Amino acid sequence: MLRVARKLVLFGATIAVLGSTGIVAPLKSAEFNMRMHSFIPPVANPAKTWLIPWVKKINKASGGRINIKPFWKMQLGGKPQALLDQARDGVVDIVWTLPGFTTGRMPKAEIFELPFLHKDALSTTLALQDYQAKHLSKETAPWHVLLMHSHAGVLFMTKTPISKMSDLKGMKMRGANRTSVLLLQALGADGIATPLGRVPPMMSKGVINGVLLPYEIAPAVKMQELGKYFTDLATPSPRLNTAVFTMLMNKKSYAKLPADLKKVIDDNSGRNIAAAAGKNWDAIEAPGKRVMQSKKKNQFSTLNATESDKIRKVSKGVYDLVIAELKSKHKINNGQELIDDARSMIAKYSK
């Protein structure tokens, strides 16, 4: 009896650990076992509020016939830049990643990362569904697209204060993608594109002086400890730009599902979940900011209207650079049309 009780305690402890680490317990006798891979830890807000609940919903809605198991922080090997290829090649079944980690893989999608095009996560995510249907069929052809979405937008998180645009001159700053680096360079900073996991060692060793991040992901890289100054811009556009994220599925993994299980995936993909995703990423900004505010040393400020306008004016040059790169590197000659479409689509869904 004692041995049985002990086994039950151990089993309960195992379940508690699985829940606390974001591991989804395997389902018994699943017909289709799938692996989902990403670069973030399970404690990060996107994992806790979106990826883990999405996995559980699919597993439950399939009646246990699908079992998706998440793997975090590149547990299955490779660098974040490899995630697109891992999903394409069937190394894993599903990934959640930024195409911008690998510059040039989805150049038309990068349009949404241009400065001050973005309004909020909801309108941008809804607009991305229209834009994907019209412009991204070729870029996304290697995968079965589950969702394209954005976060709420980045702000300056730095070790030293920023009270005017000229304070950025010479500052070493991390951006998530090519567009962010171009923006930082336009502002006089030394922009460095590097995956999220490299932020803590680079900040602690002084390789970079700051980052462009939204609040929601900042706790995952301990910016409450590594940074000190958190700087927004004056309205109407307090955030500099956003990033495009993708949930992508291996085409063969999707194709092998019977029609009823494809419907489970479809019901939890694309337009069917875009509004929920946008609302989620807008909502998780506040708890992320509260973590930053938990350290008394940290200071929060908003640049005045004059300095904010200077940044907006300078950032317009990034548009010309991106249009030129689309033409010269990718033979895409309708860059301005893509920008105009993205802007009008976002406006359609903006408040």
Bond from prior residue into 214 cis (ω within 30 degrees of 0): no
Distance CA 1, CA 62 (A): 37
In a domain, 105, yes or no: yes
Distance CA 266, CA 295 (A): 43
In a domain, 16, yes or no: no
Q: What percent of the chain has pLDDT over 70?
A: 92
In a domain, 7, yes or no: no
Nearest to 278 by CA among 154, 124, 110: 124
Instruction: Please indicate, yes or no, whether residues 306 and 337 belong to a single structural domain of this protein.
Output: yes
Q: Where are the beta strands (DSSP E) in the chain?
A: 32-38, 66-71, 94-97, 143-150, 155-158, 172-175, 190-193, 210-213, 229-232, 244-250, 299-302
Instruction: Please indicate, yes or no, whether residues 168 and 195 belong to a single structural domain of this protein.
Output: yes
Contact 327, 108 (CB under 8 A): no
Residue whose pair of structure tokens reads 């502002």 in the numeric block: 187
Instruction: Please indicate, yes or no, whether residues 183 and 60 belong to a single structural domain of this protein.
Output: no
Show pLDDT as tens, one digit a residue, over the chain (351 residues): 434 344 433 434 443 344 445 555 554 579 999 999 999 999 999 999 999 999 999 999 999 999 999 999 999 999 999 999 999 999 999 999 999 988 889 999 999 999 999 999 999 999 999 999 999 999 999 999 999 999 999 999 999 999 999 999 999 999 988 999 999 999 999 999 988 999 999 999 999 999 999 999 999 999 999 999 999 999 998 999 999 999 999 999 999 999 999 999 999 999 999 999 999 999 999 999 999 999 999 999 999 999 999 999 999 999 999 999 999 999 999 999 999 999 999 999 997
Distance CA 89, CA 71 (A): 17
pTM of the predicted structure, to 2 decimals: 0.91
CATH number for the domain spanning 226: value is: 3.40.190.170
In a domain, 92, yes or no: yes
At 17, which amino acid appears? V
Note down the domain range covering 212: 155-241+294-349
User: How many domains does the structure of the chain reveal?
Assistant: 2
CB atoms within 10 A of CB 167: 20
CB atoms within 10 A of CB 163: 12
Instruction: Please indicate, yes or no, whether residues 138 and 252 belong to a single structural domain of this protein.
Output: yes
Instruction: Please indicate, yes or no, whether residues 134 and 98 belong to a single structural domain of this protein.
Output: yes
pLDDT at 10: 40
In a domain, 4, yes or no: no
CA dihedral 222, 224, 225, 231 (to 10 degrees): 120
Instruction: Please indicate, yes or no, whether residues 165 and 82 belong to a single structural domain of this protein.
Output: no
Instruction: Please indicate, yes or no, whether residues 120 and 194 belong to a single structural domain of this protein.
Output: no
Instruction: Please indicate, yes or no, whether residues 186 and 264 belong to a single structural domain of this protein.
Output: no
Instruction: Please indicate, yes or no, whether residues 195 and 57 belong to a single structural domain of this protein.
Output: no
In a domain, 9, yes or no: no
CA dihedral 250, 251, 252, 258 (to 10 degrees): 110
Instruction: Please indicate, yes or no, whether residues 56 and 205 belong to a single structural domain of this protein.
Output: no
Instruction: Please indicate, yes or no, whether residues 102 and 188 belong to a single structural domain of this protein.
Output: no
In a domain, 60, yes or no: yes
Distance CA 205, CA 199 (A): 10
Contact 184, 175 (CB under 8 A): yes
Distance CA 128, CA 111 (A): 10
3-state secondary structure 105-124: CCCCHHHHHCCCCCCCHHHH
Nearest to 42 by CA among 4, 74, 12, 85: 74
Instruction: Please indicate, yes or no, whether residues 41 and 133 belong to a single structural domain of this protein.
Output: yes
Helix boundaries (H) for 236-304: 251-255, 259-267, 271-283, 285-293
In a domain, 2, yes or no: no
